[in-house]
Amino acid sequence: MEISFIIGLFILGTIFGSFYNVVAYRLPKGESIIYPNSHCPNCNHVLNWFELIPIISYILQKGRCFNCKCKISIFYPIAEIICGLLFVICYLSFGISLNLIIALTFTSLLIIVILSDYYYMIIEDSVLIVFSILLMIEIYFISGLEVLLHSLFSALISFIIMLLLKLFGDFIFKRESMGGGDIKLMAVFGLMIGWKLSIITIFLSAFIALPVSVFILKTNKNHEIPYGPFLSIAALILYYSHINFEIILSIIASIKIF
């Protein structure tokens, strides 16, 4: 039963992943996520149903458009696989519970954030607003008003901390150090994992981003690197693992510097 549920959840995740890719690709360009139908960006061929099956269509078509044979980016099936895996991780972390609904919603938001920031270095306000409202509604009905108010307070604190960091970075580097979307994203982190873990997210994301940034800048010094994906990955790691802030502090305190 559990294996069947996991497989079903993975398949569902790949389907949603395919849709989230459309959302991330179209919204920043001001396009509708409903119309026109999915099509090849090279020849505008409208995709048939058998070209829309997540992962499988890419494999059967050997990574090329059915009509013009133009190469399809492998990033599409990779995004679908990752979304499917993250949906499964949500289940493994929270089980069959009401919190699983919140986890899937939060994960869905961050998948769209990662994709849109990767494509255009933009985190859409509309996406953050819609998902934040959904998360607040879910928190209220699942955990109650007191928990929601506490989460909103954490969101405000996280927003202020990130804003201050941005202002400090702007002053030091004499240019915009981070986008407004990253600051608003931090407010969502505060809502979901609390302001204390949100601070940990900043340091963890920097740790994750460092080797990637060094590699990218070595190949292209003029390439700008979006920070939203690294923040999102760090937040997901902390969210899934249920890391308690007090435990982190005790670990840090126990480390002796010789």
Residue 32 one-letter amino acid: S
- Are 134 and 59 found together in one domain? no
Assess whether pLDDT exceeds 90 at residue 103. Answer: yes
3-class DSSP assignment, residue 73: coil
Joined tokens for residue 5: 């549920």
- Are 101 and 156 found together in one domain? yes
Cα radius of gyration (the chain)? 20
Residue 12 one-letter amino acid: L
Joined tokens for residue 2: 């559990």
Joined tokens for residue 6: 């996991």
Per-residue pLDDT averaged across 240-251, rounded? 61
- Are 3 and 82 found together in one domain? yes
The residue from 39, 71, 96 where one domain ends is: 96
Q: What is the chain's length?
A: 258
Task: Look at residues 198, 79, 191, 81 and name the one whose alpha carbon lies nearest to residue 131.
Answer: 191
- Are 138 and 242 found together in one domain? yes
Q: Provide the residue range defining the domain that includes 191.
A: 97-258
Condensed to tens digits (0 to 9), the pLDDT of residues 162-204 reads 899 888 887 787 777 677 888 999 999 999 999 989 999 988 9
- Are 117 and 245 found together in one domain? yes
